[in-house]
Every structure is written in C-alpha cells, then in structure tokens.
Amino acid sequence: MKSYQRKDAKHAVTPDDPGNATVDFHGEKRSNQTHASKTDPDAKMARKGKGKEARLSYNGNLLVENRHGLIVNTEVFEANGTAERDAALVMLEQIPGTKQVTVGGDKAYDTADFVAECRNLKVTPHVAQNRERPGGSAIDARTTQHAGYAISQRKRKRIEECFGWLKTIALLRKVRHRGIFKVGWIFTFAAAAYNLVRLRNLAMQAT
C-alpha cells in the first residue's frame, strides 16, 4: 500500500527511512484517478463489496463448463466496475462452434447491456435476477420458466470451487508477480494445474 502514491510528483515528501518509510494515510483521499502504484502500475484499488477495504488488485475471471467443473478459459483484466462483464463477453465470444449455449452468472451480470450482448453471441444468459436494480431485472419469465435456468443457477456455484483452489492451493490470493501480462500468465498456468487435479479426481470417481 505504501507504493500507492500520487501520480504528480509535487506532493512527494522525502522519506524518513528510504528502506521503510513511515506513511500516514489518515485523512487522505486516494483514487485510481489521482494515485497509482509505483511498483505495479497495472494494479488498481478495488473492493470486493460494500464495507470491505480497498486493495490493490487484479480482476481474474474464469469460464467453467457445468458438467464436470473444468475451467475452459481465463481472462485477467484491470480491476474496474465492468471488468467481470467485459471479461465474460470476451470468453463467451471465444467459444468454438455455432451451437446455442447457456451461461450462468450472479446478480452482477444482470444488466441490459450484458444480456443483450450475450444474445447477439447466441448465448442464452441464465443470470440471477437482480430485482433491486433500477428498471428491474434484464431477464423475465421467458428465460426463468425453463428447467435449464434452475440447473444453471445451481451449477454456476461450481466456479467458487475453482477460485477457492486457486487462492489457497495455487497461492493466488496474493500474487507474486507484477504487471497484467505476468499475472495473466500465472493465472492461466494455475487454472491448467487445477484442471489436471480435477481430471485425476474425475477418473478416480469413474473407476
């Protein structure tokens, strides 16, 4: 956090200890518009939810198939308000073939723009309805009445198993690399390792 400093050099203060300077953040307003990390400029301040502390972060995204829980694609974006939906559309666009598919998602994906773009990609959006958003949910009973919608909402939780493994076993809760390209590489590498472990477990269950 000490590396998160003002972009302009006018307010720079000579540190009392160049190796481990004392920094007082109290009363200082910091944002990604006025501040940046001196050691990792690609990392952005973001919080997981309301009431959570903001941390220098990247936005790692996964696309998981529902039948076996295998990771089929990864994307790492800068942490901002739309990174999850933007990454989801990029990964959905890369799905091979022309067959109609469905995609499950939580309430964060229930926006008119995301739902419309999914349909343009011939992807049926099975996102959780967010009735609290202005204008209501972007999907209606034409989607939710089908049995597949309930299955998608149940199966989509499998992605949390992947993230849990990547954060704890693969040690990605706090990345040891700097720069979005290196972080993206290690994120994809860890996802491949997860698939190998998952395939082994599936093979053991089959026998």
| Domain spans of the chain, in order of start | 81-153
Question: For the chain, what's the residue count?
Answer: 207
How crowded is the C-beta side of 122, counted as CA atoms within 13 Å? 8
pTM score > 0.95 for this model?
no
Q: What is the pLDDT of residues 170-190, one digit of tens each?
A: 999 998 899 999 999 999 999
Contacting residues for 21 by C-beta, under 8 A, at least 6 apart: 2, 15
Q: How far apart are CA 196 and CA 168, in angstroms?
A: 16
Q: Is 107 exposed, middle or buried (0-12, 13-18, 19+ CB in 10 A)?
A: middle
Q: What is the pLDDT of residues 72-97, one digit of tens each?
A: 999 999 988 889 999 999 999 999 88
Number of other CB atoms surrounding residue 166 within 10 Å: 21
